[in-house]
Amino acid sequence: MDLGRVEVPVAPPYPVVAGAGLDLAEILSEELESGVAAILTDSNVGPLHAPTVERALENAGWRVADVVEVPAGEPSKDLAAYAGVAGRLARAGVTRDGTLFALGGGVVGDLGGFVAATFMRGIGFVALPTSLLAMVDSSVGGKVGIDIPEGKNLVGSFLRPRLVAADLDWLQTLPRRELSGGLAEVIKMGLLSGGEYFDDLSRLGAALARDSDALRALILASIRFKARVVAEDELEAGRRAILNYGHTIGHGLETATGYALPHGEAVSAGMLAAAHLARERLGTDLVALHEGLLSSADLPLQAPAVEIEKVLAAMDRDKKRRTGDARHRFVLLEDVGRPVWGVPVDEGEARRAIGAVVA
């Protein structure tokens, strides 16, 4: 087992371990005291991977009180699912010293984390991310939460997991479009980081072909980068905002298309739009570089035809929630590895940038 281990240096710190053919029982025994566990998963991941995880927990001395499965997909990040999961834990007799294991993508991680943060005012939480997006992004950093009809991620909390463990073999069953979507976040962090991590983006094509060395290198680089950014600014008072690169217009596109456009594809278009904006505002031309990277991960260079005014309206609502300020605030790249954040952008500039990436 070729294992990578990264410690997220917050207080208390927590380990993120990732590798192909992960011996989960051994890792659990090394990292945690055993106790009562519940597993939360979804209807795609559960049938594929929950039985092995349950066995690993038992082999490591845990008692698995329940395995709870929610329907796969974003709609499960809602109040009804939250109530359903909390109810199952209560009925299974999970107590204050229990631990919830979230086995799945970002949906299961965010929902499970929010249940763990609040059930009995907080139980233990372990993230077992199975999607690329969850491995490189959502499982590190402690943001957990659910959606309400008024907006995505509007109810949530910060919660430090006790452990994050990812078996890269889980990615073998991940649909290709989801793999591409996860690579969008990898590209984002490689561009923000620069250096060796950026050089490793030459392996995107191999990662998309599920080459395990390429996946491992990119996943570990992403986890290290995100861990460092999070440790500097856990509650997002400042620099953590750079992780929103491509997400200002990206979220606008997601909302304007009624979430028909997958997150990774929306972020791709958002990054490309930000590159156009940077060319106009900062005189740095990284547009072709962005196009090359996105293409090698099989990500689209254009968002589907959507009314620009709708995207702007969604961005306005998003912005009011975030800042209450009149202008949009963007993360832009002065160069690879040199992000600037909080860059004020007026309506006309934003409109042109969106126009550059909408079909």
Q: Which residue's CB is nearer to ligand NAD, number 261 or number 286?
A: 261
Stretch of 133-141, 205-213, 234-242, 248-256 contacting ligand NAD, by CB under 6 A: 133-141
Residue 284's CB is within 10 A of a number of other CB atoms, namely 17
Whether 244 is a known active-site residue: answer yes
d(CA 69, CA 106): 14
Residue ranges in 119-239 assigned as alpha helix (H): 132-133, 176-193, 195-200, 204-208, 212-232
Stretch of 4-12, 115-123, 127-135, 158-166 contacting ligand NAD, by CB under 6 A: 127-135
The reply to whether 180 sits near ligand NAD by the rule CB under 6 A is no
Q: Which one of the listed residues 88, 188, 263, 290 is annotated catalytic?
A: 263
d(CA 135, CA 336): 23
The reply to whether 143 sits near ligand NAD by the rule CB under 6 A is yes
Locate 249 and state its tokens: 């217009």
Q: Which one of the listed residues 77, 188, 224, 251 is annotated catalytic?
A: 251
* Rounded least distance, CB 159 to ligand NAD, Å: 10
Is the Cβ–Cβ distance between 162 and 34 less than 8 Å? no
Stretch of 52-60, 126-134, 200-208, 270-278 contacting ligand NAD, by CB under 6 A: 126-134
Residue 63's CB is within 10 A of a number of other CB atoms, namely 12
Q: Which one of the listed residues 69, 244, 281, 319 is annotated catalytic?
A: 244
d(CA 358, CA 104): 32
Tell me the sheet residues that pair with 6: 16
- Residues of this chain, 66-125, that bind ligand NAD according to CB under 6 A: 72-74, 77, 104-108, 110
The reply to whether 141 sits near ligand NAD by the rule CB under 6 A is yes
Whether 91 is a known active-site residue: answer no
Whether 310 is a known active-site residue: answer no
The reply to whether 296 sits near ligand NAD by the rule CB under 6 A is no
Stretch of 5-13, 22-30, 172-180, 310-318 contacting ligand NAD, by CB under 6 A: 172-180
* Rounded least distance, CB 273 to ligand NAD, Å: 19
Q: Print burial letters for 140-164: b (CB count within 10 Å at least 16), e (below 16).
A: bbbbbbbbeeeebeebbeebbbbbb
Locate 183 and state its tokens: 């690579």
Whether 226 is a known active-site residue: answer yes
User: Where does residue 292 rank: exposed (0-12), middle (13-18), buried (19+ CB within 10 A)?
Assistant: exposed
- Residues of this chain, 43-62, that bind ligand NAD according to CB under 6 A: 44-45, 48
The reply to whether 138 sits near ligand NAD by the rule CB under 6 A is yes
Q: How many CA atoms does the CB half-sphere of 245 hold within 13 Å?
A: 29
* Rounded least distance, CB 243 to ligand NAD, Å: 8
Using the rule CB under 6 A, which residue among 123, 128, 130, 268 binds ligand NAD?
Answer: 130
Q: Which one of the listed residues 77, 247, 281, 328 is annotated catalytic?
A: 247
Whether 276 is a known active-site residue: answer no
The reply to whether 137 sits near ligand NAD by the rule CB under 6 A is yes
Q: Which one of the listed residues 54, 69, 178, 185 is annotated catalytic?
A: 185
DSSP conformational letter for 162:
S
E strand spans, the chain: 4-8, 14-19, 36-42, 63-70, 99-104, 124-129, 143-148, 151-158, 163-167, 328-335, 338-345
- Residues of this chain, 182-211, that bind ligand NAD according to CB under 6 A: none
d(CA 264, CA 257): 14
Residue nearest to ligand NAD (CB): 106
Whether 240 is a known active-site residue: answer yes
Please give the positions annotated as active site: 121, 143, 185, 226, 236, 240, 244, 247, 251, 263
User: Which residues are at the interface with ligand NAD (CB under 6 A)?
Assistant: 42, 44-45, 48, 72-74, 77, 104-108, 110, 130-131, 133-134, 137-138, 141, 143, 153, 170, 173-174, 178, 181, 263
